[in-house]
Amino acid sequence: MIAPPSGEQREDTLTRARRRATWLLVAAAALGSVANIAAMTVAAIAARELLGDAALAGASTTTIVVGSAVGTSVLAWLMVRSTRRLGLGLGMLVAMSGGLISAWAVATGTFVALLGGTMLLGFGSASTQLSRYAAADMAAPEARAQAIGLVVWAGTAGAIIGPNLAPLAASMAGDLGAAELAGPFVVAAIIMALASGLLFTLLRPDPYELAHESSRIEPGEGVSEPMWRIMRRPRVAMAVVALVVGQVVMIGIMTMTPLHMDDHGHDLGAVGLVISAHTLGMFALSPLSGRIAAGIGAIPAVLAAAAVLALAAMLAAVAPSDGLLLGLALFLLGYGWNLGLVAGSALLVSGVEHAERTAAEGAADTLVWSASALASLSSGLIVATLGFGALGLIGLVLVVSGVAAMLRLRGQLSPVPVPS
């Protein structure tokens, strides 16, 4: 007679399944990041070519961000009612269709279709970002920040491969007699399809089934109160402030940096080095951010992230033409965003009940992406009217205001946090 597995054996099996699922999420997030950045690299250029005017060229990039906001809300709603696998996989599948529509739009010269396609591409970004919460669910409370950092670290692949893949795909499309700028969108669609297939076929059991005991939802559990009340809880509100401020300041300054450098006579090589430093800060040090948040706590970590963002904004404001100083500012800007994202996400998870998590995560990320869209639209107007230095100072003011709000909210925290 074969003895049933012991409790220790069952725990080992569960640990291995969680580790496997986490690395699958990392792989899918890496693929999604590569596809997103490859598409974003040419989105504005494609819009300018279709319109013959640069005035609305940024609209196609903005629609990706808007699509991310919409996608986050839709996918979170779906995951509350089904599984993580379905929501994350479907997001990549919708993004695949967006890539194909965008390629068709470029080939046929249809600007409106390009806007629609790039908006659907945003669903892939939403899926990539929501993956971090699926990893957090499978981790013990003390290891959640590190699990989030590991998934965010997957974005390093997009930062390195995406910008270099875009010109290669364009060249291949041209060699085949197709519109060159359609190539990156087709390649993005193929990569999104791979990510979707990976999630649908291999992410089994679902992360909900592998959730740590502290994250497990019992049958019949649901959201206990309206979302606006959940968002007003001090711990949750602190997390949302940290996430939104980091995203707005990062997007605002990053978006205008290439134009600012071009205005001061820097060539594309110098611009590329500065943006590479920025993306390195955004993703490569994510495991370190996870360790920091786990070591000192999520609240001190989001305040530390704000300090890094404030320094970056100040350096950007006083670096009108110095490429080296601007590169340092952009690296710090990227890392401040990263630390705030990892620690803020961990703080958010710790501030809600088990059954509220998926809905609250979706609501928070929807706010983040909506703010990101506003930042990408307003940064150009600010630079055109007040200059790049003013954009850095406005970023500094936003960070200081965010810190003041978070300190006020910290004073409202009860001694015992919401169970996580």
- Fold for 225-414, please state it: Growth Hormone; Chain: A; (1.20.1250)
Q: Is the pLDDT at 54 greater than 70, yes or no?
A: no
Mean pLDDT across the chain: 87
Residue type, 270: A
| Per-residue pLDDT at 55 | 61
* Residue-level pLDDT at 42: 84
* pLDDT one-digit tens code per residue, 135-187: 988 988 888 889 999 999 998 888 888 877 888 898 899 999 999 999 999 99
- pLDDT (0 to 100) of residue 6: 56
pLDDT of residue 418: 45
Taking only the tens place, the pLDDT of each residue in 119-139 is 999 999 999 999 999 998 898
Does the pLDDT at position 419 exceed 60? no
Answer whether residue 78 shows pLDDT above 70.
Answer: yes
Rounded percentage of the chain residues whose pLDDT exceeds 70: 90
The whole-number pLDDT of residue 74 equals: 94
pLDDT digits (tens, 9 = 90+) for 337-391: 999 999 999 999 988 887 788 888 889 999 998 898 888 778 878 888 898 899 9
Q: Is the pLDDT of residue 188 over 70?
A: yes
Joined together, the tokens standing for residue 379 give 């940064």
Q: Do 225-414 and 13-215 fall under one CATH topology?
A: yes
Residue spans per domain, the chain: 13-215, 225-414
Q: Is the pLDDT assigned to residue 223 strictly greater than 60? A: no
What's the pTM? 0.82
The whole-number average pLDDT for the span 220-228 is 66
> Which tops the pLDDT comparison, 6 or 106?
106
pLDDT (tens digit, 9 = 90+) per residue, 206-217?
Answer: 998 888 765 555
* Fold classified for 13-215: Growth Hormone; Chain: A; (1.20.1250)
- pLDDT value of residue 135: 92
